[in-house]
A = this chain, B = another copy of it.
Amino acid sequence: QECGQGTVAVRRPAAFCMRRLVCYSLVATVAAMSMGIAAAQSPNGVRTLDPPGAIKAEGTWSLGARAGDFVFVAGMQGVDPATNKLVPDPEARIRQAFLNIRTIAQSEGASLQDCVRLTVYVSDLKRVAPLVDKVQAELWGKPPFPPRTMVEVRRLFDDDLIEIDSVFYVPQKK
């Protein structure tokens, strides 16, 4: 809730008539302005990311941040942005976690190939690691893959099976 940064207008379907369109344009402008205040750059130029189509961050964290030529993405779980719930099937959930990462990275112009660092936290290395390999092979399509660290921890949020931390490189337009 605290992190809803005025993007609701963006997700609404197009207006039905001119009058409504004007109204919506105003709303969009105000929303953009308030977003400009709420999600403004930090004193040193860190820009918080909250792209359309991504999951919603609830609590004291953000989905990602652009800083210079790098994009930092928060630890992602396999939450379906449509339902805001974890995807039930383990393999599909792992795929969803990577797709959530990709949505945030792509909003800044980065592809999966621009990932420079993956830290994969899992609940069961022997069971989950092969699924991660399978999903990455499918999503990346071919080598090269990013440098990766994968470890089994004692617990993840929601007693989940995977959470993935990532960093991307995508130089700023100058």
Contact = CB atoms under 8 A, between A and B. Distances in A.
Interface of A: 2-3, 5, 38-39, 42-46, 48, 59-65, 67-70, 72-75, 109-111, 113-119, 121, 125, 129, 132-133, 136-137, 140, 142-157, 163, 165, 167, 169-171
Contacts of A3: 143-145
Nearest to A137: B60
A167 B72 contact: yes
Contacts of A45: 169, 171
Number of copies of chain A assembled together? 3
Contact of A60 (B39, B74, B113, B145): B145
B67 A149 contact: no
21 contacts: A2-B137, A39-B143, A43-B114, A44-B170, A45-B169, A60-B133, A60-B136, A61-B148, A62-B143, A65-B117, A67-B69, A67-B169, A68-B169, A72-B147, A73-B147, A74-B149, A75-B149, A151-B155, A151-B156, A152-B156, A154-B154
A153 B151 contact: yes
The prevalent SS among residues of A at the interface is mixed
A72 B117 contact: yes
Contacts of A2: 137, 143
A153 B154 contact: yes
B155 A152 contact: yes
Given A156-B152, A170-B44, A144 B38 contact: yes
A147 B48 CA distance: 8
A62 B121 contact: no
